[in-house]
Amino acid sequence: MYTQAMDTMGKEAGDARPALRSAEELRRQEEFDARIDAGEFIEAKDWMPDHYRKTLLRQISQHAHSEIVGMLPEGNWITRAPTLKRKAILLAKVQDEGGHGLYLYAAAETLGTSRDQMLDALHTGKAKYSSIFNYPTLTWADMGTIGWLVDGAAIMNQVPICRCSYAPYARAMVRICREESFHQRQGYDALLTMMQKGTEAQRAMVQDAVNRWWWPSIMMFGPPDDQSPNSAQSMRWGIKRVSNDTLRQKFIDATVEQARVLGVTLPDPDLKWNEERQSHDHGAIDWAEFWRVIAGDGPCNQERLGARVKAWEDGAWVREAALAHAAKQAPVKAAA
């Protein structure tokens, strides 16, 4: 999953667009702009403006971190899945998320930053990940709801990135989106089973999970367009293809019908069909909560980061052993 926080981090010092330094650089910039305008893809070895590189690096690394941190809320339920079938599905899904993180770290590395640097930024709290993973998973219904709403929102966000102007990112996203589609369906299927074949208590559990995840899910599309200062530049560069509000609206419109089939209520009394706009109107989103969670004050921020740092430290011996093994093998391979 996830891209939400990607345009919320552009206010750092040193992030201002650098002045062009030479006629040569100006020529290259013009050439680059023309390639973007012509819809061409940019490869890792091509010249690119510094700001384009930094913007992509920030977005792709935050996306990678989100996939890896996103394994935690669901990983928590693997041992408590209700059946062997659901356990196997959840295991496969969480493993997919780990794979997504790895494709994305690899794509970000092509921009010149090492994986160790990116992980260090995550572990020291400098890098962000999607705020959705700072909410707790209280019941088994949360597993289905995350698949349905969180992976569903992720797909809506990520399909346009398959056409991102930076080719290594676009290629990673094609594969990721295929797997996200499975994630969304397994979640919906788990909820449908509980709603149609479950007990009254299980149906109430589904409704409770939907009540808790709905608003954080629609926040995943990021701040409103008029409060998203980096979006225009990202659109200009073909990194972002569709605006936050447009994607959010598409997601809401698609989800309302799915909720009806499922038999749950979306927790927004102002959610209603607008005949004139041919779309749903919705209630006000609590952006103060969004910014608070991004800034580190969500229900699980400390727990999530603590778990990542512990996993990194506990895994040190594996990395050391792998490096020692590679060093031993190097002379053998060179002699062969």
Residues that bind Fe ion (CB under 5 A): 1, 67, 97, 100, 151, 180, 183
How far apart are CB 281 and Fe ion at their closest, in Å?
A: 29
How far apart are CB 171 and Fe ion at their closest, in Å?
A: 15
How far apart are CB 151 and Fe ion at their closest, in Å?
A: 4
CB-CB contact of 134 with 173 (8 Å): no
CB-CB contact of 149 with 213 (8 Å): yes
C-alpha to C-alpha distances, 80 to 69, 84, 139, 268, nearest whole angstrom? 20, 10, 10, 31
How far apart are CB 220 and Fe ion at their closest, in Å?
A: 12
What are the b/e assignments for 169-200, b being 16+ CB within 10 Å? bbebbeebbebbeebbebbbebbbbbbeebee
Phi, psi of 191 (to 5 degrees): -70, -40
Q: Which residues contact 324 (CB under 8 A, 6 or more apart)?
A: none
Question: Which residue number, 183 or 280, has a Cβ lying nearer to Fe ion?
Answer: 183
Question: Which residue number, 40 or 179, has a Cβ lying nearer to Fe ion?
Answer: 179
Q: Which of 50, 67, 153, 160 is nearest to 106 (CA)?
A: 67
How far apart are CB 75 and Fe ion at their closest, in Å?
A: 13
How far apart are CB 11 and Fe ion at their closest, in Å?
A: 27
